[in-house]
Amino acid sequence: MGCDFLIVNAYDRMVLARIEKDRLLDVQAINLLAGELLKLVDRHPKISLVIDCEAVTALSSAMLGKLVALVKQVKACKGRMVLAGVNAKIMPLFQVTKLDKVLDFAPTAQEAIGNYRRKPL
């Protein structure tokens, strides 16, 4: 069973994963999304992963935990990951939990892709 709210485009040694679900609150959706994102890391060694979160307006602490596990896996595979387009309403969740120090952020997916193109792995 695939994740129908995750659109993935892979090109130029980069992977853009666009989340098209506005609320990441239920455990089933979070586990499905996390599983698909981890598969991308397995499929693409030294991944440059851009997760476009522009559509996301709410997320649970369970999703925060999945993002931490994902970034650890990405770094273990000598890759990098950025969250792009994070809504100003949910950014305080990252700040209160100090995850803004652990995760990288970009204003837009296009800017993150541009940065990765300028500094390839």
pLDDT of 115 reads 93
The three-state secondary structure class of 54 is coil
pLDDT values of the chain reduced to their tens digit, one per residue, 121 residues: 578 999 999 987 799 999 999 999 999 999 999 999 999 999 998 999 999 999 999 999 999 999 999 999 999 999 999 999 999 999 999 999 999 999 999 999 999 999 998 888 7
Architecture in CATH of 6-115: 2-Layer Sandwich (3.30)
In the chain, what are the domain boundaries?
A: 6-115
Whether residue 62 contacts residue 30, with contact meaning beta carbons closer than 8 Å, is answered with yes
Q: How do beta strands 14-19 and 80-84 pair?
A: unpaired
| 52, β-bridge pairs | 18, 84
- DSSP H or E stretch at residue 111: helix 109-118
pLDDT of 65 reads 96
From 1, 63, 51, 2, select the one nearest 27 (Cα to Cα).
63
